[in-house]
Each structure stands twice: as C-alpha cells, then as structure tokens.
A and B are shown apart, each in its own frame.
Chain A
C-alpha cells in the first residue's frame, strides 16, 4: 500500500517536472487543511462517535506545457493532480483493525487515515487542429450516468460532421484498492480491502466482498456544431473480477476448501452495463427543452428518465416544468436489484425571477410519487381474511401478532397465494407534496440567501401511505468587514420532521453557525466555523471547523 502511494506521488511529481522544460509553464499549487471536531449522538441519545477529523488535500497542476500562454483552439497540454488524506482520530481501538480474538467493535472497511488520489492525469486539448483531445491517468467523467472515476485513458475526436466521438477505458476506481475510495462504484455491494487477519477470516463478514480491479470501457457520440442544440449518447460497461461470496450462510459440505464454508463465484462478470442519452435545445427568446434517459442493459429497464421545459416569461422570469422517473439499480453483483419493484417519479412546476440584478427568486412546487404493488392500508386485513382468519377476534389476532405458523404449513397456503396474486398487486400511488423556495440577495460587500423546503405525505400515519414530513428554512449571509481581508458569515436554520414509522423521533431543530473568514495574504485564507444545534433528541450539539486553504499560482 505504502509503495503504491509513493509510486503514485513520485510518478505525478516526475511527470510534472519532466513536462516542465526550460520554457515557462503556468503552474498552480493548491491545498486545504480542514480540522473538525464534533460528536455523533446515537438515535438513543448517547454519544457514540467523537469525531476529530483532519482532512488535507494537495493539488498540483502545470498548464500550457507546450509553452506560451493559453491560446483558444491551439494545442494545449497540462498535468493535474490532487491527493487527499482523511484522518479520523476518533476511530476507537478495534474499529479499524481486525483481531479475531476481539472483533466486537470491528467495522470492515473503516481505516484511520485513508489516503486517496482524487485525480492525476495528463491532458491534451485541441490537438490536430482541434480534432483530438485526450486524458490519461485517474480522471473523472460526468455524463447522464452521473459522476464516475477511473484509471485509464480517454480519447475525444471532434469530426467536421457535427459529431464528436469519445472512447475510454481502464479500471473503475474502487474502495479497498490503493489510493482509492468507493465513491464511484455502483451501489449495493459492500466492498473493501481484506488485509491481514481479515483476509483469512473473511467468512465472518460474507457480505463484505474483497475488492479487486474492475475493467471498464465506454463510448460516446456527442453532437457538435450548433450551440442551440446538444445531445450526447453514452454507453458504459464495467466488469467485476475476482472472487465473491454467494451464499450468506456457511455450508461446508458444498463450499470449497479454505472458504470457511461459504460458496464463491469468480471470474469476469458484468458489474454495470448502461446506455443513455441526454439532450438539450433552446431558443434564446423562448425557452429550453431538455431531457434524457438511462437504460440498464443488465436488468433491462429504464433506470432514470427526466425532462424539463422552461419558458422565458418576459425578460426577467422563467417558468418551467421538471419531471423525473427513477428506478434504483445496483451493481450486478448485488441482490438488491431483485428487491426493486417500482420506480418513483416527481413532477415540479417552477418559477425563477430576477427582479433586479441583486435579487433572485425561485419557487418549485409539485409532487413526488411513490408506488407500491398493492395498497399498504388494506393489504394486511385482506391477507388475513384470505388466509382464513374469519372472525373479528381471529382477524384482530392476525393483525396484532402475525400469521400463525400453522397457516404457513397449510397447503395451499392462502396467505402466500394472496401475496403473489397479480390481482392484489395493482399499483398504489402515495403522493408527497414537495416545494422549495430560494432567494438570493447580493449587495456590494456581501449577500444573503434564503432556502426553504417542505416535503410531506398525505393521509393518516396508520395508512402506511404517509411518508412523513420535513420542512424548514435556512438563512445565510456573508458580509465583508474589511473588503478583501476579513469577512463574517452566519447561518440560522430551523427544521422539523415527522416519520410515521418512528414517531418517537419527531423533532424540531434550531441551529446557527458563525463563520469568520480572513485572508491575510493573497494566496491563503483561514475560515473558522462554530456550529451549535439543538433539538429534543440530542439536546445541544456543537461542531467546530477550521479551514486553511492556499492557492499559489505565480
């Protein structure tokens, strides 16, 4: 692990230095050091995590390696790198290191001070008269699939025929691998390093899969040319490699040797396989239309689709409609794909206005729709009735204490048959009301923002169709006390929430933050935040954060 780190840093620095010949280049060094101290109180009121975190990032960049200043449409080379360490001095003994003799607090995957390489790449742009771009190294991509990171190469070719082609390939960044985080993996699989004793004792955590490299590649076709319309088609496939447990309970008679009784599969298999398209078109005097979708080839379903239509109502206001359809999908190694039955959908109307250059307003209001196969409010009674609980007393017992085990043994099992009948699984929609309001006001030496929201379900808590409520608002402001040198920021908020499944956890919260910020030198800034929150569940809670950031770019 350490070797990898040194190698990566050395390679990056070497690349930077090697690419810096006698001619001048533009370089930049950035860095942050963030110290935080706060406590996390368990849902039952006691302090369970005393977090004392120190996060530090270091960024290096060298631009215009070709020499001279940046010139639009001219060939351009750069090297960029950023590393990070996220140390938590509040990790208790035994949480991060596995000891078979004392694993009571062990949480697989937790480490004291993980170091990760956020990105490190060489980039070339506008090569071959603007036809070719490339990136080589650890890099991010952003498209209709969302954020993603991989180690490899990307080539982007812009043709004269209103199309650009993009191809990339490499290894997906995965948690548990050197200098990597799990942030960019598909959801649903708990992966990480199995070092030391855990490697030999992994069967204690059969859901915790050993990390291994994940080959990936993608293709994209993108429109170029007309600015008023843009579309991009994307395809990406990621493979899983290495061994993974299947059965979650040990059966030594069927499992191979050395597996603790757990069965495994191994080899190349799909992790994710998706295609998507996103497009946007506008008429400056009229409005904008955009939309897109993602189709999951592994599962064979549209996992996300969205659309938005905005009209410019006069010179300072925009009205629009936004809609989204979302069906969660997971890594193809994950069983969670089998548990998703329905999508959720949202539809929002929006108004955004800019009455003056200093004031901006926005309002979104609409609904979020949740679907279930069957009506939660009447299902239990119907299921008990179908199961033969005929009398009121029997029905009451069924609802209070569940189906008696003797019914499960009956044949045909009417309780089960009821549940699997399509007639009883007609979709039931539970709507939430959703609204957001935002106001920005700026003045010469500062500004203030208001953000408020409400999302609430309908119906009684007992119906099973009310998904709870959350509402509140935050006002934040920042004022330059000594312009360019000293600022004072603050934030006040109040929120309340209600969860029908946990009514004892309802609360109203009030919190404030005071945040002075000073920039004593042009290349450095210091900010301190004092945060104080209070609600009936956790009482008083405090957080202090200090941030030093530097940026040197001669």
Chain B
C-alpha cells in the first residue's frame, strides 16, 4: 500500500514534486523491503545533477535520449511491479547510497578542482537510473557498446548517450523504435520506470526529460580514441560506479596531463587555451556564459581572480603576459593602466583627499599607472601644491611640508625631507622638478646650488658606468670640469 502511495505521488506531481516523491518512494521501498540487501542499503539519494534548474539549460535538439513524448508511449502494464522483483536502489548515484566516490576513481584533476566548472559544463538534468558497474562487470559490456558514437564524434555538442533503440532494447523488454510511442513488454526491466525517473504513469507514461546542455568547449572524442586514450583517462573509473553524473566530466587539471605543451610544433595535444576553449572572433577566449563568467582556476599559475587579485595580478602578468591576453583585450587593461577615469576598484571614494597619504605609503604604487612628472605633477602645479607653478600664482602662506627648520635645514630632524626621499622618492617626484632639488644639492658656483651632497655612501665607486652612458644628470649639478666628477670618468 505504501509503495502504491508512492507511485500515486509521482504520477500526480509536477515539476520538482516528482523528485520529492521519488525520494519518498525510495525511502519507503527501502524501509519496507523484506530483502536483506535492501534493508542494509541506505536510502538512495537523487542524482546530484537532478537538482539543477532545468530552465538554466536548453534541451538538446538532437538528443538520443527520448524526449517527453507528444503521444504517450503504450504502457502494457501500468500497475507497479512488486518490489521483490526489481531493486531500484541501484543506479541512482555514482555510489550506492550516495556515498563519496573515492578520489582515485574520479576524473584526473579532481583533487585540484572538486567539481566541474559550471561555465564549461552547464548544469544537467539526468533523469536516468543506470548502473555502469553492473553493465560493465556483470554483463560484460564495453563502453563502446553504448557509446559508439564517441568514436566518430568531433564536436562537443554531439550526443554520445546510447540510442536506446540499438542498445537498451537489445536486452530490455522495450521498444524505442518510435520515441513518441515507446512500447514496453511484460518484463519488469522493460518498464519505463525501470530506467526513467519521474515516469508519469498517470499521464500515459511520460518520462522526465534528460537535459544535457552543450559543453562550452571544443572536444574531439574521435581524435582522443584514435590515440588509444581510453574513456577512464578523462572520465575516471566509471566502470566501478553506478550512475555517471556531471561529476565524471573531465577537469582542466586532468586535461593538462597530456595537453601540457603550448606553442608551435608541440604535437597534437597542444596546451594552448584555444585548443579546447571557445573563442571570440578576435581569437580571445569566450568568457561570458549564461552560467557565469569564465575565470582561471586557482591552480593555474595562481591566477585565480580572488578578491585580492588587484594586489597580486602584476606578478602573474609580469611572468606571462600572454596568459592575460588569452581573455583580456588591450582595452580591459588600459582602462586602468592608461585610463582617464578613476577605476573604482583601485581607488576608493574620496581618493583625492586621501591620496597624499597613500602615495607616501606607496600603496598602491602610483607609478604602476601614472607618470609622476606629468599626470601627478601637472595637477599639483595647477592647484598650487607643486612649487613649479609660476611664482605669481603661488599662494602665499601655504606650505605643504613642515617648516624649513624641520624639513630642509641641518640638522636632519625626524621630519627632515631627506628621510622621506630615502624611503620613497617617487612621492617627491610627483611634485618637485629638478630645479627644486638642484637649488640646494647642485654644486656651488656656476651650478647655482649650495653644495649639499645627496649621494649615498659609496656613490663615487658606482658612478662610472652611469656617467659614461648618460652624463646629463651629473651635469645638472656639476659643471663638466668639476674635479668631483673625476672619480666617475
């Protein structure tokens, strides 16, 4: 009676209700079954991918799996089959009872990427109960028996699930010749609900739709199989599992086991991004999908676009600029690095007020995006902060730095400008021109300075090469015949 109740729920429910009903049914079946095996098996869980929103993925137009029939299939036996004859607890999840699949059975790369990317493999709706382990080991069927289409497949959009007419029907008492009018025999294994979840017996046997959106990927199964790359090498040990789900789809880290080389003449298993990923007409990767935006995984040169990516990205980009250019256009980068509008993700609100302290702290480093003497200096000159503003426009009584006794004169007090210059000269250059410095640091006499030596200790031993290759900065403060240049010549 309880089992029958379960079927009534399935038959009358819509949408997700059938799923709940399926779970309840399974629970009840398991609890009430007299068979010792069934009594020991935990309640089967729904297939992991069954929770995906069907609306998020379009139905495949050329699916080999029967779509919901316009006309109900001819059901020879609408009554439920006794549970003693059919154990439906198998084939609902990779591991009986929904346990975790051992890592060594999972596709290579699973340790680095626990679940397949939604962007590459959009969520699926797998409404088939199927036991791979039984078919492979007990029934001695090879992968090719059901997935023969893979051996000729050159596109990721090809449907590689078995055509039931030529596969399932060979053993199961059912006839899928006409998907719109499937006929079932008298054997329990031929009933729709033997394999199809959500079979609506009350509606003439309609079955729930299998939804397998096209992967956003280039994939040539035939090429892989020709090179004797077995199914397990990408999909893991499916022969040890019951239901194969989205979890058994390949991981990029696994692909890299073979696709580990990029560039010309590196064989067929190229590692270039465009070998597998979809591209825009520009040749850059397509990164926007209905399921989200494609971003690099954490393990790929640590290029994950984490919240601290702004602070970290220079190290990754500096080591391999082509990695960034795989997805990003020049515009994307220059909007910040050569932009004219303050990037909000870099500089927060009220940046104009706080940027002097930020520049002093060198955080972020101004020179990453700005030319100090023009971008910074021009604005500072116009607002009267920088000294090089013409004297007539210099506002009287306004001083940016501490008083001269602390800032410029000897002795070097804790507030002396020399400490600031030693620590972070970029901040000085954002306002000051060479003349400001030469006023004191140029040699006395013809160069017009006060002879205050700004050079670090040991400079005389290091100035030779610079002087030979470009004497100009030396000659700003020293005349050409200055004896002190002798050590640099």
Contact B256 A360 (CB under 8 A): no
Contact A308 B435 (CB under 8 A): no
Contact A48 B383 (CB under 8 A): yes
List of A residues within 8 angstroms of B112 by Cβ = 284-285, 312, 315
Which of A3-11, A516-524, A531-539 contacts the other chain?
A: A531-539
Q: Tell me whether B398 is interfacial, beta carbon within 8 Å.
A: yes
Known contacts A48-B383, A182-B375, A230-B319, A40 near B414 by CB under 8 Å: no
Scan A114-143; emit 1 where CB is below 8 A from any B CB, else 0: 000011000001000111000000001111
List of A residues within 8 angstroms of B371 by Cβ = 175, 181-183, 185, 187
List of A residues within 8 angstroms of B256 by Cβ = 227-228, 284
The smallest C-beta distance from A309 to any residue of chain B, in angstroms, reads 9
Contact among B315, B340, B349, B429 for A474, CB-based, below 8 A: B349
Contact B334 A140 (CB under 8 A): yes
The smallest C-beta distance from A394 to any residue of chain B, in angstroms, reads 12
Contact A230 B301 (CB under 8 A): yes
User: How many of chain A's residues touch chain B, expressed as a range?
Assistant: 35 or more
Contact among B341, B352, B412 for A40, CB-based, below 8 A: B352
List of B residues within 8 angstroms of A41 by Cβ = 352
Contact B382 A48 (CB under 8 A): yes
Contact among A226, A287, A376 for B302, CB-based, below 8 A: A287
Contact among B264, B425, B470 for A159, CB-based, below 8 A: B264
List of A residues within 8 angstroms of B414 by Cβ = 376-377, 379-380, 462-465
Q: Tell me whether A467 is interfacial, beta carbon within 8 Å.
A: yes
Q: Tell me whether B12 is interfacial, beta carbon within 8 Å.
A: no
The smallest C-beta distance from A210 to any residue of chain B, in angstroms, reads 13
Contact among A376, A422, A449, A502 for B412, CB-based, below 8 A: A376
Known contacts A104-B393, A335-B476, A379-B412, A251 near B337 by CB under 8 Å: no
Contact among A226, A288, A357, A495 for B261, CB-based, below 8 A: A226
Q: Tell me whether B36 is interfacial, beta carbon within 8 Å.
A: no
List of A residues within 8 angstroms of B424 by Cβ = 328, 344, 370
Q: How far is the CA of A107 from the CA of B388 in the complex (A)?
A: 8
Known contacts A334-B434, A464-B419, A246 near B472 by CB under 8 Å: yes
Q: Tell me whether B170 is interfacial, beta carbon within 8 Å.
A: no
Contact B361 A537 (CB under 8 A): no
List of A residues within 8 angstroms of B321 by Cβ = 141-143
Known contacts A143-B318, A232-B320, A300 near B264 by CB under 8 Å: no
Q: How far is the CA of A85 from the CA of B263 in the complex (A)?
A: 38
The smallest C-beta distance from B432 to any residue of chain A, in angstroms, reads 9
The smallest C-beta distance from A461 to any residue of chain B, in angstroms, reads 9
Contact among B259, B281, B349 for A531, CB-based, below 8 A: B349
List of B residues within 8 angstroms of A283 by Cβ = 299
List of A residues within 8 angstroms of B148 by Cβ = none
Contact among A95, A190, A244, A387 for B373, CB-based, below 8 A: A190
Q: Tell me whether B462 is interfacial, beta carbon within 8 Å.
A: yes
Q: Tell me whether B459 is interfacial, beta carbon within 8 Å.
A: yes
Contact A72 B279 (CB under 8 A): yes
Q: How far is the CA of A491 from the CA of B466 in the complex (A)?
A: 49
Q: How far is the CA of A197 from the CA of B360 in the complex (A)?
A: 37
Known contacts A142-B321, A362-B308, A335 near B400 by CB under 8 Å: no
Contact B275 A298 (CB under 8 A): no
Q: Tell me whether B5 is interfacial, beta carbon within 8 Å.
A: no
Q: Tell me whether B483 is interfacial, beta carbon within 8 Å.
A: no
Interface members, chain B 425-470 (any A CB < 8 Å): 425-426, 428-429, 433-435, 437-439, 441-442, 446-448, 453-457, 459, 462, 465-466, 469-470
Q: How far is the CA of A43 from the CA of B273 in the complex (A)?
A: 50
Chain A-chain B contacts (Cβ-Cβ < 8 Å), number: 520
Which of B75-83, B90-98, B402-410 contacts the other chain?
A: B402-410
List of A residues within 8 angstroms of B423 by Cβ = 342, 344, 370-372, 430, 467
Known contacts A206-B435, A468-B361, A533 near B349 by CB under 8 Å: yes
Contact among A26, A72, A335 for B281, CB-based, below 8 A: A26
Contact A290 B260 (CB under 8 A): no
Q: Tell me whether A194 is interfacial, beta carbon within 8 Å.
A: no
Contact B448 A249 (CB under 8 A): yes
Contact A131 B473 (CB under 8 A): no
The smallest C-beta distance from A387 to any residue of chain B, in angstroms, reads 7
Known contacts A49-B382, A142-B321, A474 near B348 by CB under 8 Å: yes
Interface members, chain A 154-211 (any B CB < 8 Å): 158-160, 162, 164, 175, 181-185, 187-192, 205-208
Which of B124-132, B149-157, B182-190, B362-370 contacts the other chain?
A: B362-370
Contact B349 A513 (CB under 8 A): yes
Contact B262 A451 (CB under 8 A): no
Scan A357-380; emit 1 where CB is below 8 A from any B CB, else 0: 100111110001011111011011
Scan A277-289; emit 1 where CB is below 8 A from any B CB, else 0: 0111011110110
List of B residues within 8 angstroms of A533 by Cβ = 349-350, 353
Contact B476 A318 (CB under 8 A): no
Q: How far is the CA of A507 from the CA of B350 in the complex (A)?
A: 11
List of B residues within 8 angstroms of A326 by Cβ = 362, 365
Known contacts A225-B266, A285-B111, A455-B363, A188 near B429 by CB under 8 Å: yes
Contact A265 B279 (CB under 8 A): no
Q: Tell me whether A151 is interfacial, beta carbon within 8 Å.
A: no
Q: How far is the CA of A59 from the CA of B113 in the complex (A)?
A: 38
Contact A207 B473 (CB under 8 A): no
List of B residues within 8 angstroms of A495 by Cβ = 348-350, 354
Scan A220-256; emit 1 where CB is below 8 A from any B CB, else 0: 0000111110111000000010001011110100100
Q: Tell me whether A479 is interfacial, beta carbon within 8 Å.
A: no
Q: How far is the CA of A143 from the CA of B306 in the complex (A)?
A: 22
Contact among A129, A144, A185, A247 for B319, CB-based, below 8 A: A144
List of B residues within 8 angstroms of A248 by Cβ = 434-435, 438-439, 442, 447-448, 476
* Closest residue of B by beta carbon distance from A132: B264
* Closest residue of B by beta carbon distance from A224: B263
Q: Tell me whether A403 is interfacial, beta carbon within 8 Å.
A: yes
The smallest C-beta distance from B299 to any residue of chain A, in angstroms, reads 4
A–B complex contacts, Cβ < 8 Å, 18 sampled: A36-B341, A162-B263, A224-B261, A224-B263, A230-B323, A248-B476, A270-B469, A278-B315, A328-B426, A333-B470, A339-B425, A340-B456, A342-B423, A402-B405, A402-B411, A422-B457, A472-B348, A476-B344
Since A270-B469, A318-B298, A373-B457 are in contact, a sample of 5 more A-B pairs with Cβ atoms closer than 8 Å, ordered by chain A residue number, is: A158-B265, A164-B263, A285-B112, A315-B112, A338-B459
Q: Ordered nearest first, which 10 A-B pairs have the shortest CB separation?
A: A464-B414, A438-B307, A511-B349, A249-B448, A224-B263, A207-B433, A26-B281, A130-B264, A104-B392, A160-B265
